[in-house]
Amino acid sequence: MEATPASVTKLIDELSELPGVGRKTAARLTFFLLRNQNDLAERLATALHDLKERTRFCSVCYNITEDDPCPICSNPDRDPRVLCVVEEPLAVIALEQAGVFRGVYHVLHGVLSPSQGMFVENLRIGELVTRVRGGDVDEIILATNPTSEGDWTASYLLTQLHPLGVRVTRLGRGLPVGGDLEYADSVTLTRALEGRETI
């Protein structure tokens, strides 16, 4: 269309590939960037370029890192005998923000979901088994998401890890702190009842 220059259409096309960004949002973002006086477009371009250029997977835990092994794996104050298995690097960030876990991580990079084309060989499951077999691990915390796919992945991991004779736990289920009983769904309430604690 003659009203839109090729470079504008191009950016709208690329932005539309982002999850949750439709063509209208992409167009609005593009024109926001065109109007922006602080060189945000250029800064974004540099940050995007550096993202893939500078980051890699940690060869120990497969988290995203600039240094290999990552700062968590190479931190002598962390306990390498407690391994927390998560689906995504975002989960590591969430757990680190909580600031209570002092062990190390293993990032699967996904969850078992055959309908989405995610099989055992697409996840870092083989690497986990090798790592546990080769290392001095006391406990593995399965911290997959509390979804049916996350639970299924945890069950599969348990079958693989159980023969290795290591203690396997999972994160507690129940009411989220700050939540309202009135709005809790029945599955969460059932889990909260089953997991009730003596006070």
Q: Which residues bind a copy of itself (CB under 8 A)?
A: 1-8, 10-11, 13-15, 17-20, 25, 27-35, 39-55, 63-66, 70-72, 75, 88-90, 92-93, 95-97, 109
> CB of residue 20 vs a copy of itself: minimum separation in angstroms?
7
Are the CB atoms for 111 and 144 separated by under 8 Å?
A: yes
CB closer to a copy of itself, 122 vs 160: 122
Long-range contacts of 93-96 (CB under 8 A, 24+ apart): 95/143, 96/72
CA–chain centroid gap for 44, Å, is: 23
**What is the full DSSP assignment across 35-69?**
H-SS-HHHHHHHHHHHHHHH-EE-TTT--EESSSS
> CB of residue 199 vs a copy of itself: minimum separation in angstroms?
33
CB closer to a copy of itself, 94 vs 164: 94
Q: Tokens 């996904």, residue? A: 110
Q: Which residues contact residue 74 at a Cβ distance below 8 angstroms, ignoring those fewer than 6 apart?
A: 67
CB closer to a copy of itself, 88 vs 151: 88
> CB of residue 139 vs a copy of itself: minimum separation in angstroms?
20
> CB of residue 172 vs a copy of itself: minimum separation in angstroms?
22
CB closer to a copy of itself, 41 vs 192: 41
